[in-house]
Structure 1
Amino acid sequence: MDFILSPRVEECRQRVRAFVDQELIPLESDPGSFDEHENIDESLLQRMRAKAKDRGLWSLQMPQERGGQGLSMSEMAACYEEMNRSIFGPVVFNSAAPDDGNMMVLNKVATESQKERWLQPIINGDVRSSFVMTEPAPGSGSDPGMMLTTAVRKGNDWVINGTKHFITGAGVASHFILIARTSDDARKGLSAFLFHKDDPGWEIVRRIPIMGPEEHGGHCELRFTDMVIPDENRLMEVGDGLKLTQIRLGPARLTHCMRWLGLSKRSLEIASAYVSERESFGVRLADREGVQWLLGEAAMGIQIGRLLTMHAAWKLDQGDFARKEVSMAKVAVSNTLHQAVDTAIQLCGARGYSKDTPLEWIYRYARQARLVDGASEVHKMVLSKNLLKEGSDFWTWG
């Protein structure tokens, strides 16, 4: 694969970087920029989104004919990394989870009429969305096969009953993708449906408090009680719910990695600036060997993560599911994010632990990385199964 960006993509990357430096990073030091859940204030967000649209930096992942920029996965990797050098970046560019993954899967599998009704408003930024799959124990978590929420067909409708939790963005979402059980078939037992926030038969039980800063709309527990969804709002065929989940989660996991690399780089930028100025016992911290080791190791980890992420993105662009490559990137980059921000806090000392920099925000946010979209242990199991099945072909150049 060729790591050289086309002139168009390099120009886009530079414009994203400039927008982040000029418009977003300065906002982070103002407490008034934040909402009560430690994300960008809604009114400020709308102003920044308008600026991103005006500068042609909106919905990079969507086709140009739908108002996006039409970037491939590998092209997105370079630009997403730049946008999340700010903690506010992804949502400003309409590239934050869960909207990002929902837009990509709807663009791939929805019918044209479904795209007009359910996808286009998300691309336009008129509504937000949510992906409804995870359930409380003993329901489905990393194993979708344990799903307990049911969809029972009644004529031309489906009746939904069950409970979901940790549903990201549900508190502000208007458009939802729901995965529910339609049969006991091990591979074809799940199906996917679309519903709107105003549809009757469901409720938000609570917004679950979490350790770190929240995405807009939080992480919610939902209850479905005889909710009726017309069959025209079914995505793909009956029994294709697991397939849709696989189509969605591979690219979505990788875009997490792209964004996390941006946060990792920002952490080292903050630390590097501090140790270059701060002196201790007559010596700049940057000139101390121990500090150099910490910075060098973290920088190396980021570059390894970038290579794994770009390789997985390239494989996806070739039409491959890239399951191994995505899992490797997910495990490595989630660890790299923690290493980078932990190193930065250590080097910045009390300043890093304070709210004078965004490092403590990033640190709390980073802890979820080893859990979301499949815990690291699950991805290592995927890699082990592939190794045992493929032997030395696990490392093929093909």
Structure 2
Amino acid sequence: MDFTLPQEIETTRLQVRDFVEKEVIPLESDKANFDAHENLKESVVAAVREKAKAQGLWGFQLPKERGGRDLGIVGMAALYEEAARSPFGPVAFNCAPPDDGNMIVLNKILKTDALKDRWLQPIIDGKVRSAFAMTEPDGGCGSDPSLTYTRAEKVGDKWIVNGRKWFITGAEGAQTFILVAKTSDDERKGLTAFLFDKDQPGWEIVRRIPIMGPEEHGGHCELRFDGLEIPDENRLLEVGDGLKVTQIRLGTARLTHCMRWLGLAKRCMEIAGGYVENRMSFGTTLSGHEGVQWMMGDVAKEIHIGRLLTMNAAWKLDQGDFARKEISIAKIQVADTLHKAADTAIQLCGARGYSKDTIIEWIYRYARQARLVDGASEIHKMVLSKYYLSEKHDFFKWGL
């Protein structure tokens, strides 16, 4: 097994690392760069994005004919990890959620260049943001899409949508939306996915939901649909393929979360490592104490395990495999690792880690969502149990 990265990916990885170090991390220390939701102001994002584009650090996950680099899933794993050494790195390179997952799925399933020009290219170019509207309140769908009650009724050549969605990441300020709605009562083919534009009437943002941690741009919003009309030409795939659309999107998207979370975990330990090497305690630096070494070593081990699991799943995706169980395993491991890394870094840095003098407390609050988003850890463990009971010894086979 050769874990050496191809030269183009390795060269780009070092360029991304250098860019984050010089252009992104310095932005963290100036409060004037931040909005009311603890994210970078749009003007700051626009400026750093122009710098990234000028250096060719853009569209790692997208085809070259659309302005991307097309470096594959393995390449994304290496580059996203470096980008996310700052929480604000992914948005600088246009590989932040939810746009990242939306671009990937639209590139895969839109059938014509005209549709891609209309719906995909503006997101690639960074001219608009997007959102994926699936989750619902009041007993509606979360990890179980079959509980969708937002309905789309066919009337002539249009679909009329009524219902509600909530915790829709990035909805405030998004221009392009992917919507999953119920179109029949069929258990497997009852959902259909659609595209709609912010400027269409018949829907509204009810509220931006306050959350525990810092927010992505556009927050996490509750939406209401009251007669939204969507032309049939803006339907994604066939009627009844809504679940298929979500599976195509969420598979890779879950793994890209892992890639970024590993970058954040590494950053926590970088900060903690620098601190314990200089902080004196009882005649030696903190790093000289065995207990501190155990803590640092344990987190380093967990991060490395997460990286191997993530890269294994990325390789399988690049080979055309769905890598469902590998993605679930990585998602569980890396979500836990991110929280452990942030928690350990705070413990090692003491009051400084708990303060806002470093980015660690920001990451700590953000990390708690990792075990919930794109399928709670318990859901992924259920998935793994089903695979094991079905495959037995083959669950552990090597290769594809």
Which category of TM-score, normalised to the shorter sequence, fits these structures? over 0.9
Tell me the equivalent position of 1:29.
Answer: 29
User: For residues 121-270 of structure 1, what are the structure 2 equivalents within 5 Å?
Assistant: 121-270=122-271
With normalisation by structure 1, the TM-score equals: 0.99
Q: Deviations over 1:206-253 (max 9, x none)?
A: 000000000000000000001110000001011110001000001000
Tell me the equivalent position of 1:282.
Answer: 283
Tell me the equivalent position of 2:359.
Answer: 358
1:82 is displaced (CA, Å) by 0.2
Q: 1-side partners of 2:169 and 2:29: how far apart?
A: 26
Q: 1-side partners of 2:2 and 2:130: how far apart?
A: 35
What code does the residue aligned with 1:11 have? T
Q: Deviations over 1:125-161 (max 9, x none)?
A: 0000000000003111100001000011001000001
User: For residues 81-96 of structure 1, what are the structure 2 equivalents within 5 Å?
Assistant: 81-96=81-96
Q: 1-side partners of 2:25 and 2:31: how far apart?
A: 13
Q: 2-side partners of 1:212 and 1:145: how far apart?
A: 29
Q: 2-side partners of 1:203 and 1:175: how far apart?
A: 14
What code does the residue aligned with 2:115 have? Q
Where 2:252 maps in the other structure, the secondary structure is helix
Tell me the equivalent position of 1:50.
Answer: 50
1:41 is displaced (CA, Å) by 1.2
Tell me the equivalent position of 2:302.
Answer: 301
Q: 2-side partners of 1:3 and 1:105: how far apart?
A: 27
Where 1:160 maps in the other structure, the secondary structure is strand
Q: 2-side partners of 1:364 and 1:345: how far apart?
A: 12
Where 2:277 maps in the other structure, the secondary structure is helix
Tell me the equivalent position of 2:321.
Answer: 320
What code does the residue aligned with 2:51 have? K
What code does the residue aligned with 2:133 have? V
Where 1:141 maps in the other structure, the secondary structure is coil
Q: 2-side partners of 1:95 and 1:35: how far apart?
A: 20
What code does the residue aligned with 2:67 have? G
What code does the residue aligned with 1:184 have? D
Q: 1-side partners of 2:5 and 2:391: how far apart?
A: 33
Where 1:65 maps in the other structure, the secondary structure is helix
What code does the residue aligned with 1:81 have? E
1:342 aligns with 2:337: no
Unaligned regions of 5+ residues in structure 1, if any?
Answer: none
Q: 1-side partners of 2:223 and 2:285: how far apart?
A: 53
1:396 is displaced (CA, Å) by 0.9
Where 1:69 maps in the other structure, the secondary structure is coil
Q: 2-side partners of 1:147 and 1:15: how far apart?
A: 43
1:195 is displaced (CA, Å) by 0.3
Tell me the equivalent position of 1:99.
Answer: 99
What code does the residue aligned with 2:322 have? F
Q: 1-side partners of 2:356 and 2:79: how far apart?
A: 27
1:30 is displaced (CA, Å) by 0.9
What code does the residue aligned with 2:165 have? K
Q: 1-side partners of 2:162 and 2:365: how far apart?
A: 34
Q: 2-side partners of 1:301 and 1:245: how far apart?
A: 30
Tell me the equivalent position of 2:16.
Answer: 16
1:6 is displaced (CA, Å) by 1.1
1:281 is displaced (CA, Å) by 1.3
Q: 1-side partners of 2:360 and 2:210: how far apart?
A: 21
Tell me the equivalent position of 1:6.
Answer: 6
1:69 aligns with 2:79: no
1:7 is displaced (CA, Å) by 1.1
Q: Deviations over 1:343-395 (max 9, x none)?
A: 10000000000000000000000000000000000000000111111111111
Q: 2-side partners of 1:109 and 1:334: how far apart?
A: 29
Unaligned regions of 5+ residues in structure 2, if any?
Answer: none
What code does the residue aligned with 1:277 have? N
Q: 2-side partners of 1:395 and 1:7: how far apart?
A: 31
What code does the residue aligned with 2:111 have? T
Percent pairwise identity: 68
Tell me the equivalent position of 1:395.
Answer: 396
Where 1:277 maps in the other structure, the secondary structure is coil
1:172 is displaced (CA, Å) by 1.1
Tell me the equivalent position of 2:370.
Answer: 369
What code does the residue aligned with 2:102 have? N
Q: 2-side partners of 1:79 and 1:16: how far apart?
A: 7
What code does the residue aligned with 1:298 have? V
What code does the residue aligned with 2:163 have? G
With normalisation by structure 2, the TM-score equals: 0.99
Tell me the equivalent position of 1:38.
Answer: 38
What code does the residue aligned with 1:120 have? Q
Q: 1-side partners of 2:110 and 2:133: how far apart?
A: 17
Q: Deviations over 1:256-310 (max 9, x none)?
A: 0000000000000000000000001111100100000000000000000000000
Q: 2-side partners of 1:6 and 1:139: how far apart?
A: 44
1:176 is displaced (CA, Å) by 0.3
